[in-house]
Amino acid sequence: MYKASVITVSDRAASGAYEDKSGPAVRKLLEEAGYEVVRVLIVPDEKNKIINALLFECEQGVHLIITTGGTGFAPRDITPEATKSIIEKECPGIAEYMRQKSMEITPRGMLSRGIAGIREKSLIVNLPGSPKGATENLGFILPHLGHGLDMLNGKKE
């Protein structure tokens, strides 16, 4: 069983002005797929706080770190930039596949800037912030992540 964490990136949710619905929805999908969700966090759209949360999860040996939020065009949407600053290897196919599948539902799927990448033994994936967008995108990739995590953690060649 792989360990997973969910990090919601949202100024409003972090301040308590908005109830986080994406984080719990993502957690539910991960648990249904057999992941042990060890943490669900909320951080504001601040690069250093996002970076610190991602680094902490990597240092704790979390295998799959899912972020939700901060992937759009708004001035404070900086989750991909924060993620890119700490990953060692980018995994463009994951983000490309999510955008491709999203565009089959709505052309606005092209507006997501989320990325995916590896730091040490952790895979980090950025999802959109809406509960619908987050769960749809995770649903597209979740059946395929186990193989990648197996390779990353030396269980498959």
Which pTM was predicted?
0.97
What is the average pLDDT score of the chain? 97
Whole-angstrom CA distances from 115 to 1, 93, 94, 127, 157 are 24, 9, 8, 8, 24
Name the residue among 66, 71, 79 with its Cα closest to residue 24: 66
Q: Assign residue 129 a region (left: φ > 0; alpha: ψ between -120 and 50; beta: otherwise).
A: alpha
pLDDT tens sequence across 101-135: 999 999 999 999 999 999 999 999 999 999 999 99
Domain boundaries, the chain: 3-152
Q: What is the reported pLDDT for 1?
A: 86
pLDDT tens sequence across 17-65: 999 999 999 999 999 999 999 999 999 999 999 999 999 999 999 999 9
| Beta-bridge mates of residue 119 | 122
CATH topology (fold) of 3-152: Molybdenum Cofactor Biosythetic Enzyme; Chain A (3.40.980)
pLDDT tens sequence across 53-106: 999 999 999 999 999 999 999 999 999 999 999 999 999 999 999 999 999 999
Cβ pair 59, 96 in contact under 8 A: no
Q: What is the reported pLDDT for 157?
A: 62
